[in-house]
Structure 1
Amino acid sequence: MIELKQLTKTYGNKKKATTALSGLNLTVKKGEIFGVIGHSGAGKSTLIRCINLLERPTEGEVWVGGVELTKLKRRELQQQRRKIGMIFQHFNLLSSATVYDNIAFPLKLMGVPKLQIAAKVNELLELVGLTQHQKKYPAQLSGGQKQRVGIARALASDPDVLLCDEATSALDPQTTDSILNLLLEINRKFHLTILLITHEMHVIQRICDRVAVIHQGGIVEEGPVTEVFLKPRHTVTREFISRELAGDEGFRQTSSVPLPAWARLVRITFLGAKTYESVLSQVVRETGVNFAILQGTISTIKDTPYGQLTVSFEGDNAKVDETLELLRQRDLDVEVIG
């Protein structure tokens, strides 16, 4: 649905050029929720603005729905942009227009008849839960309500793609969760492709199918959220996850505790239904090794439950090796960390 090929964006002239994106490649599949996470200045906002050509790339190609946007003339580009909805961090609503008129605005620009506009706006008001607020102005709304107006407005032209530029970073945690639930509902109901950028790992964990980590204008890690969360490879990814997952903090606390020289320190990761099964206790009963759970966490990544344990195994080395192998045979991820 979205394909970026060797995308480069440079600001300034040759003597004082600043490169925001450098040879970036990215593919987003139809119907998925794809997250891009990175620190401030990593190139996130430039990336998302290049997709709908609010920023024109210096080099590279932007494909959306099988159409190369970077080759289109102005009028053709305007037509294609109708298939790309966008919601913003600070809402970008018309302050002098009501909720109803804010949502209707793109339809009026398209010349849609008044009766069709009314039907569409009322449908969207119900979808985002703002039917009772349609005559209010933005100043009379909460942050979460303003973002719901922004979402409804972005959906007015029936887009194939929804771009979200830090859509929840200006909201409190409870409101953030309600907006994420709404985006998830929209994705499932309309099979709408959603690409969102954020600096919050919680957002990625809650609703995304896949994630890319952007750093210094390039993608440094990419994959299914479960894989990136549970087995991060890049330093930047580990930084984000260590802030989000209690497991990493717990490990830092317990890793300073002196262990017997013969103990084996192991991180065990459970995914899916196995998160709630007594696999560890079953295996150690078979092998007879002693163990102590030093730290543990259970949570979910989108709809997938997972668990992580930091465990100290004590006993005969051969028996400990057998225990770890039996755990692996039961489809658990086992990593010796000390």
Structure 2
Amino acid sequence: MIEIRELTKFYGKGSRMTPALSNLNLSIGKGEIFGIIGHSGAGKSTLIRCINLLERPSSGEVWIDGVNMTGLNRKQLQSRRRKIGMIFQHFNLLSSATVYDNIAFPLHLDGRPKAEIDKKVKDLLALVGLEQHATKYPAQLSGGQKQRVGIARALASDPDVLLCDEATSALDPQTTASILKLLLDINQRFNLTIVLITHEMHVIQRICDRVAVIHQGGIVEQGPVAEVFIKPQHPVTREFIMRETDQGEELQAAIAASHPSSSQTVRISFLGDKTYESILSRTVRRTGVDFAILQGTISTLKNVPYGLLTVRFEGDEKAIRETTQELSAQGLDVEVIGG
């Protein structure tokens, strides 16, 4: 659906040129919710604006649905952009227009008949749950309601792709959850491809199918969310995971604290139905090993349950080895992180 090939973007001129993106490659499938996560300044916003060519790449290609966007002239690009919706962190609504007119705005630009516009806007108001707010102005709305207007406006032209530029970072946690639920519903209802950029890992884990981690203008890691979340490879990814699961200084201190000479600290990852099984307790009963849970998280990755435990095993060295081997044999991922 979306192919990004060797994408590079520089700002400035001559000796003052600064790279924002460097030889970046991505492939995003039809109907996928694809997350892009990175710190401020990593290149997230530049990348998403290059996808619809609001920013023109310095080199490389952007293909959407078999069309090379970077090879289109201005008129062709304007036509193709109608099939790419976009929502923004700060909503970008017309302050002097009502909710109804904000949603209708792109339809008026397309020259749609009045009756068609009216039906479409009313359908979209129902979709985003704002039927009672059609005549209000943006200043009369909450942040979540404003973003719902932004989503409805982005959907007005029946896009194939929806780009979300930090769409929830200005919202409180409860409102964020409701907006993410709405985006997931839209994705499932219309098989809409969604590209979502964020600096918040919990946003990725809640609705995304796959994720790419961007750092200093390049993709340093990508893959299915569960795989990247449970087995992060790059230090930046691990930083995001540790921050999300609260694996901070206290945990590191607990790992480093004095403990019996015959002990081992491990990180155990569960995924799917195994998350709720008593595998650990059954195993240590059989092997006779004592254990202390130093940190634990149970949550979901797009409705798939997962667990992360940091555990210190204490006891006979052979029994500890048997314990970790048995846990691995039962499908758990076990990583030794300390003696």
Give TM class, smaller chain: over 0.9
Code of the aligned partner of 2:173: P
Give me the TM-score of the superposition, normalised by structure 2. 0.97
My pick for the range that moved more, 286-295 or 145-154, is 286-295
State the secondary structure of the residue aligned to 1:255: helix
Counterpart in the other structure of 1:145: 145
Please give the per-residue CA displacement for 1:160-201, whole angstroms capped at 9, x wherever unaligned: 100000111111111111111111111111111100111111
| Cα offset, 1:290, TM superposition | 2.5
| Cα offset, 1:335, TM superposition | 0.7
Counterpart in the other structure of 1:241: 241
Report 1:174-253 matches (<5 A): 174-247=174-247, 251-253=251-253
My pick for the range that moved more, 116-125 or 243-252, is 243-252
Contact between 1:254 and 1:295, CA under 8 Å: does it hold in 2?
Answer: no
| Cα offset, 1:53, TM superposition | 0.4
State the secondary structure of the residue aligned to 1:157: coil
Report 1:251-270 matches (<5 A): 251-270=251-270
Please give the per-residue CA displacement for 1:128-175, whole angstroms capped at 9, x wherever unaligned: 011100001111111111110000000000001000001111111111
| Cα offset, 1:293, TM superposition | 2.3
Contact between 2:255 and 2:265, CA under 8 Å: does it hold in 1?
Answer: no
State, as a whole percentage, how many aligned pairs show the same letter: 72
1:7 paired with 2:7, answer yes
Distance 1:89 1:292 in 2: 43
Counterpart in the other structure of 2:79: 79
Please give the per-residue CA displacement for 1:89-112, whole angstroms capped at 9, x wherever unaligned: 111111111100110110111111
| Cα offset, 1:253, TM superposition | 4.3
Please give the per-residue CA displacement for 1:205-252, whole angstroms capped at 9, x wherever unaligned: 111111111111000111111111111111111221221113456622
Contact between 1:247 and 1:308, CA under 8 Å: does it hold in 2?
Answer: no
Counterpart in the other structure of 1:48: 48
| Cα offset, 1:258, TM superposition | 1.2
Please give the per-residue CA displacement for 1:56-102, whole angstroms capped at 9, x wherever unaligned: 10100001111110011111111111110000111111111110011
State the secondary structure of the residue aligned to 1:171: coil
Distance 2:238 2:264 in 1: 23
Distance 2:53 2:290 in 1: 60
Report 1:26-175 matches (<5 A): 26-175=26-175
Code of the aligned partner of 1:255: I
Aligned-residue Cα RMSD (Å) equals: 1.2
Distance 1:250 1:206 in 2: 26
Distance 2:20 2:311 in 1: 43
| Cα offset, 1:27, TM superposition | 0.8
Please give the per-residue CA displacement for 1:254-307, whole angstroms capped at 9, x wherever unaligned: 213211111111111111100100111222222222222232221111111111
Contact between 1:34 and 1:194, CA under 8 Å: does it hold in 2?
Answer: yes
Distance 1:266 1:242 in 2: 15
| Cα offset, 1:314, TM superposition | 2.3
Code of the aligned partner of 1:13: K
State the secondary structure of the residue aligned to 1:298: strand
Code of the aligned partner of 1:301: L
State the secondary structure of the residue aligned to 1:9: strand
Contact between 2:263 and 2:317, CA under 8 Å: does it hold in 1?
Answer: no
Contact between 1:251 and 1:295, CA under 8 Å: does it hold in 2?
Answer: yes
State the secondary structure of the residue aligned to 1:232: coil
Counterpart in the other structure of 2:309: 309
Contact between 1:165 and 1:198, CA under 8 Å: does it hold in 2?
Answer: yes
